[in-house]
Each structure stands twice: as structure tokens, then as C-alpha cells.
A and B are shown apart, each in its own frame.
Chain A
Amino acid sequence: MAKTLVFLEHHEGAVQKGSLGVLAKAAQIGGEFAGAVVGSEVRAVAESAGGTVWVADDARLAAPLPQPRVDVLAKLVRDEGYDTVLFAQSVLAADIAAGLAARLGAGLNWGLVDFDGETGTAPALQDTVVVDVGWSTPVRIGIFRAGALDAEALTDTADVRDAAVQLEDFSTAAEMVEQAHAEQQGPSIEDAEIIVAGGRGLGEPEKFALAEELARALGGAVAATRAVVDAGWYPYSAQVGQTGKTVSPKLYVALGISGAIQHKVGMQGSNVIVAINKDPNAPIFEYSDLGVVGDLHEIVPRLTELVRSRKS
């Protein structure tokens, strides 16, 4: 039976949804498992998660740098005998997982969508096939794809334990000079449960307001296709698709998106896909759960209105 450690990434006092999803997965697999929260003044964060949670609370861990976190996790694995370390995909998680793999001589599989305690499942060849992946090393490290798992908070009270913080000299050599945040309203598209995405069918940059209003009414985030990002209508951080972000919200509303395969691979994991497009031959209708052929400039404002009135 696996003995699993889950890295709980946190931001502004809350554990990221992706990490909670991985923790829930670890609980579901069975066997012994624990989360790990690493940072400065993060005890409250650790308490907010369920199950056993290791907390490494140290002023030197304030900046979100990977190497000190590798030190903490490597020590936990060695001292407590964890054989599996799981992460939710993020830039920081990728850095830590890679460093940890090197430190422990452990195998690393990424892009996982499932794991049964023994074998992982991951899409391959640009999401055209799903393959089983395994590990040949004693310690297994895995990174789950963003949005692959539902975030279900564990219900029990967290059993918080202190993890020793012993940092290597080379781990403290880097220092955070500046941290910049992209200006953003509402949830990020990777975290959002509802996404309203706009394509070139919107007609002009100003019409993105339609998508934004609908997103606001639904409580979701706005995403964009490559074509409109290329045209400078929307920032790259909102781009969904092969060369943008991969999202899997519960609801994906595609406005004026033709649905080329490059877009499809970035959002095909969505639970429910709704497409509004005036071209009945648009490829997106082939993989939509609900397709509306019509003029989005008429439909969307009325839809937004309807959502608002239902919600109020």
C-alpha cells in the first residue's frame, strides 16, 4: 500500500483547489497519506486542510522558491518513509517536483489524470491517446494535470504536525527580488469552474464585453482562442488550447469559436461544453454537449439577462 505525501500549494492564505483535489485523490486511494504546507506563517493554512498535514513554518520559506521546499519534502520522505509524492500542476510545483526527483533519484511522471496507488494514467501524443505510466524507482513522484481532479475538501479536522526545516546552503542562495502579479479580475481560468471563451466570431475586440458580462453573471472566468490573442484582443494568459492553457471546468461556454483541434485539446476535458456559433458546420458542434446555431450578438445578452434574473 502506498504511503503518500501531497504538496499543498497555497496562495493568499488558502490551499489551491488543485492541491485539494490531489489530497482527495490520495485519500481515495487508501493507505497512509498526508499533506505538506510549506511557507511562513502558514499554520492556519495547514489547519484548513483535512487529514494529517505536515507544516514547515519558517521565515526563510516566505518566498515561493523551489529549492528550500525540495529540502523540506526530501527530509520528510527520508524521515517518514513516504514512497509517493504528488503535486498539482503549477509552475512552482513543476520546479519542486523536478528538484525533488533529482535529489531522491526518483522517477517523475507528469500530466497525470489519474493514479491508483500503483499506476498512473496520462494523455499522450497531444491528447490523442491515454496511456498507463509506471515508476521503476522506489520513490514515485507525480504531477497531476490542472483540473484533472475535483477539489473535495476533507471533512475531518486536520492533524497538524511540525516538519523540521533544515535548509542546505545552496538552497538559500537564491532570493526573491520581486514578485509581480498579473492584473486579473475573478478566478484564473485554470481554477474556474465556469469558463466563457470568446473567439473571432465575436467580430471585434470591444465585443469581448459580451463574454465578460456573461462570465460575471455566471461567476466564471473569461478565456480566449489563439486567433483573438494573436489579434491582440485579449491577453495571452487567457489563451486556451494546444499552445495556451489546458482547462477542464464544469461548464465551458464557447462564443464564436470554430473549434479547431488546436483549441479542442485545451478544453476537451470540460464537463459540459456549450457552443454558440452562426456557422452550423463549425467543428466545435461535433464535441459540444449543447450547440446553438445563431447570432451570438443577439443570444448572449439575453442569456446574460436570464442568468442574472434566475440568480437574483
Chain B
Amino acid sequence: MSIRPSEYPPPWSTSDAIAAPTDPVEERIDVGFLIVGAGPAGLAAAIRLGQLIEESPATAERLGEVPVAVLEKGKAPGAHLLSGAVVNPRGLQRLFKGRKRIEEMPFYGEVHGESVLFMTKRRAVRIPTPPTMVNHRNYVASVSQLGRWLAEEAEELGVTILPETSAEQLLVDGGRVIGVRTGDRGRGRGGEELGNFEPGSDIAARVTILAEGTQGHLTGAALERFGLRGENPQVWALGVKEVWRVAKPLDQVIHTMGWPLRAAKRYREFGGSFVYPMGDDMVTIGMVVGLDYRDTELSVHDLLQELKTHPRIKRILEGGERVQWGAKTIPEGGFVALPSHFHAPGLLLCGDGVGLVNVPALKGIHYAVESGRLAAEAAWRTLARGESMRSALASYDESLRRSFIWSDLREVRNMRQAFGRGFYVGGALAGAMTASKGRFPPRDAPTERDADQSLIGTDRAASYPAADGKLVFDKLSSVFASGNRTRDDQPNHIRIQEKVPRELAELWAHMCPAQVYEVGEADGDGTVRVKLAPSNCVQCGAITAKGGRLTPPEGGSGPEYTVT
């Protein structure tokens, strides 16, 4: 029997995330511009708005007491941010033009050396760096630290940041987005109100900018509600990474392909790893695998552990100590999976939420920053005399299409899909696409939903290395290393069918890097119960790609990343 995760859709619908305002008008919190998500996109939008307010205070007066507010579900800005990351500074340079130099930004230095390795179990062969992956003039950074820094810059410009606040529902009134409703806090497991209960509130704004990042809760609902989906479905990859304090400095950025992934077409295993130096005494290492994979025993966390046992990699970490761990999904659909529009009445969408990621270049932070900046300018335009709300917001789509984001993504639009045909064929096709600057192939390749891939079983899990607490770690100690201290007695925020075929339960249990899912007892009719430990969740979003749905838990829950 071949099972597809999409055959077991979660008990959840778009309408759960969209509501009409309920608080009486006088109790609503009114802000000028509301931004959801304190990541590179949202904070870039906030900073740009702050700059514009500084430049024309008279116009700003029309925005009320709180001209710009940013909601962040994590404990603090940066707490839920995780990336490689080698950053192309272009977006930040444009945002801070004439205000900040690169030297003042929180980078670990420019990339000086790089190599791409093709791995087998015992060997690592250096191969020529594919042109899309050349990192000359790019900078190594921790996006979590970058987020903290951007938040400080935004606050200096008068932006109000509200951490520990999740945006649970998009408020739509008369066909127009008027803000969001924040999540309740202090509910017990059964939804009952505990002693510290605080209800959420309606926050109303002139324009709402969704910058929720990968698997955005409201972004997904908005794309459905306003019919903004593009021609192709979005697809994702799951990345798991660790930050190590090391004994000797690493002098280059390293990317690997091949082992421990399998090249044969039937596995559909597309991905690779990265090892980046963070100054002289830290290194970050991560493994990224496309979630269109099929093997129920594949675990990206365990593949990362396996990778670290390779002699070439082990050498780098020798004598070091793991200081942090985390996981997050990455939208990989690229150009062909972009929404048809990036705005709706009262609403603008930017960053990873709408899939602005260049997969062959392994980059998206500069697109997030640029799209946030452009969204801010469009939002600001709604204040201009003689400009209609509608045309001002529509101008965001125009400016996106004229930006470097668009031309970059267009050129590489078919590469990710080519790897659905196995590693070697995919690699060859990608080469042809690069050489032709994207003119080959003549017809665009569609993406297929990750949850539509039928499952296969192998005995792969048997070969994952056993945890030793020094080089190889189990999932639970890793959740601890993510800083996750979520209280256990809050309502479950993960929507799945809890009675599913064993294969699907196995897929979830292995896939989840945070050990949220456990295969429970059999029901006798071929299905099993799935047991959940929701407080382990680091909100990576993989479950949404593979047949379930992640919704935002109580604000302040989840990991507390600081150097990822």
C-alpha cells in the first residue's frame, strides 16, 4: 500500500486563522503600521518605516501614538531565527544607505575561502564550486544575532516591538485586512483558563505587513483567503544545525553534497550540508534536506549526527563543544511557486513567508530585507495625498518585480525541481541552466507538494550513530540545547490526525528533530495512535509540509536561539 501524507489532512482549516474583529472598537489597540514577525523582513520594514517617519514627522502624526508595531512570538527578537548563514549584504546596504557601514553590522567577517565537497562514507572530494554558490564578498552571520541587532536599530527609530506575542488570527472586516488578533496566554492543556490567564486582543492597523518567515501561520491563510496562490505549490526543506565552540579556527566555508544522502532517484533526497566559521573559535554545521523525500526513516537530525562522524568533518570539531542546536524549514519552491500577488486589501506579504529564497545560492536573507524595505515604502505611500490605498499597496508588487529579487529568482527557477530526478541528472541539468542564464529549459518545471510524495520504508534508522553526548547527540538533549523551556501544560498547538497508518506515524516520528511525535499503540486495523509532546516543539514547520499543521503556541514558547 502506498501512502501519501496528504491523504490524512489535519483537522484545521483556513477559516480557523481568519476572523472578524470581536473586541469593541474602543478596546482595540490601534497602531499605525503593524508588522507580524521580528525577523530580517519584518524588522527591515520597521526600520524603513522608522526612517521615513524621521524624515517627515508631519506625515507621521497621522499614525497615532504607536506609529509602527512589530509582533514577535518568540521570547525576544532573534529567539526563533535560524539560518546558515552566509549573507549577501546587498539588502542591508540598501536599507542602511548612508547610515551604517558593513563594518558596523553584526557579521563574523567576509568569506575568504570556500570549498564544495562531494562526500562518500569515508572520503571527501573537492569539486569545482558551482557558479550559483560562489560566496565572494558575502559575510558569515548568525541570523539570530542579526535579528537582535536589527531590533535595537528599529527601537532606536521609535518602533514598538512586542515580544512573546503570537499573531493567531488575521482580522478581516468587509473584505479588508484590518489587523490581527493575538493569542491568549495562560490556558491549560484542556483550554481552561489558568490563574495567569490573559486573553488576546485585537490590534488594528492601517496596513498589516506579514513577515512571519517560513510556514507563516497567517501568511498561508491569507494566500488562501484572498486567492493569491501562484501556479505551483510551495515546497520546503528541513534544516537542522548546531553551533560549536572549537579548538582551532576554520579558515573557509564548506558545503557538502552526497553522503549521507542517497543519490538514487526513487529516494528523492535533495540536500547537503554546510560548515561555516563564526570567528576564530566557533563553527556552525548544518544539514538541509528537501521535504519531498519519501523514506519514513529519514531523520535530518540524525543525518547531521552521522555527517559529524565523517573523518573530514570530525577533524573540524575535534576538541570542541556543542553550544546550541536548532531546526527550521526553508521554502524551496522558488520563482515558480511564488504567489500571484503579494498584497491584498490592507495587507502586504514579504520574506520567507512568500518563498523569497534562492535555493541554488542557499540565500534568502537579503531578499527578506529588500522585500521588507519595499513593503514599508508601499505602506508609507498610502499616506501620500491623492494616492488610493489600493494603488499604493499594488505598487509593492510592481517594485518587487523590478527588484533584483525577481531577476535572481527567475534565472534559477527550474533548478530545485531538476533534483527530483536524482542527484546526478539534477546536477547536470542545473549546470545547463546556469550556463544558459535560465533560458534552458524552455518550459518551466512544476513543483509537487511535499505531502503528495508516496512513502517508502527502508531500514535506514539502524545505521544512525548512537548518541555519545560529545560528538553525537540525541533529539531530547538537542531540544535542551535550543533553549526550549516551554511549559508542558499548555494546549496542544499541533494539528494532525492522531489515528493514522503506521508508516505515516513513523515518518513524523523520524522527521521531527525535536521528538514531538511518538508512534503509539496499534488499533488493530492497521492504524496506530500518534502521541504528542508539543512542548518539545521548536516550531520548525516540517509537519505543515508533511501532512499536518503547525499553529502558533502561546507567545514566548519554543526555542530561545541566540547564536544560530
Q: Enumerate B527-552 residues with CB–CB distance to A below 8 Å.
A: 531, 533, 535
CB closest chain-B residue, reference A242: B485
Residue of A nearest to B467 (CB): A283
Interface string of A262-276 (1 = CB under 8 A from B): 100100000000000
Contact bitstring B479-515, A, C-beta under 8 A = 1, else 0: 1100101111100000000000000000000000000
Indicate if A153 sits at the interface (CB-CB under 8 A): no
Residues of A within 8 A of B483 (CB): 126
The residue from A126, A231, A244 contacting B480, defined by CB atoms under 8 A apart: A126
Q: CB of B428 within 8 A of chain A?
A: no
Q: Does B313 contact A (CB under 8 A)?
A: no
B435 is an interface residue with CB less than 8 A from chain A: no
Q: Does A243 lie within 8 Å of B488, measured CB to CB?
A: yes
Q: Is the CB of A230 within 8 A of B488?
A: yes
Residues 225-260 of chain A, each 1 if its beta carbon lies under 8 Å from chain B, else 0: 011011100001001001110000000000000001
State in angstroms the CA–CA spacing of A283 and B477 once bound together: 11
Q: Which residues of B contact A230 (CB under 8 A)?
A: 488, 533
Does A261 interact with chain B (Cβ within 8 Å)? yes
Report the count of interface residues on B (CB-CB < 8 A).
Answer: 16
| Candidates B474, B476, B486, B531; contact of A243 at CB < 8 Å | B486
The answer to whether B476 and A262 touch across the interface, beta carbons within 8 angstroms, is yes
Contacts of B477 in A (CB 8 A): 260-261
Let me know if A243 and B480 touch, CB within 8 A.
Answer: no
> Closest CB of chain A to B195's CB: distance in Å?
10
Over the window 458-488 of chain B, the binary record of Cβ atoms lying under 8 Å from chain A Cβ atoms (1 yes, 0 no) is 0000000010010000101101100101111
In the assembly, what is the distance between CA of A230 and CA of B517, in Å?
13
Q: How far is the CA of A9 from the CA of B485 in the complex (A)?
A: 29
Bound form: Cα–Cα A126–B480 in Å: 9
What is the chain A residue whose CB lies nearest that of B481?
A261
Tell me the complex Cα distance, A92–B320, Å: 43
Interface contact A236-B469, CB-CB below 8 Å = no
Nearest residue in B to A260 (C-beta to C-beta)? B476
Residues of B within 8 A of A243 (CB): 485-488, 535
Residues of B near A286 (CB, < 8 A) are 469
Closest 10 CB pairs of A and B: A260-B476, A261-B480, A261-B477, A243-B488, A236-B489, A243-B487, A262-B480, A226-B488, A230-B533, A242-B485
Q: A242-B480, A286-B469 are in contact. List 8 more A-B contacts (CB 8 A).
A: A226-B488, A226-B533, A230-B488, A230-B533, A239-B488, A260-B477, A262-B480, A281-B466
B residues touching A (Cβ–Cβ < 8 Å)? 466, 469, 474, 476-477, 479-480, 483, 485-489, 531, 533, 535
A-B contacts, 12 listed (Cβ < 8 Å): A227-B533, A230-B488, A242-B485, A243-B485, A243-B486, A243-B535, A260-B474, A260-B477, A260-B480, A261-B477, A261-B480, A262-B479
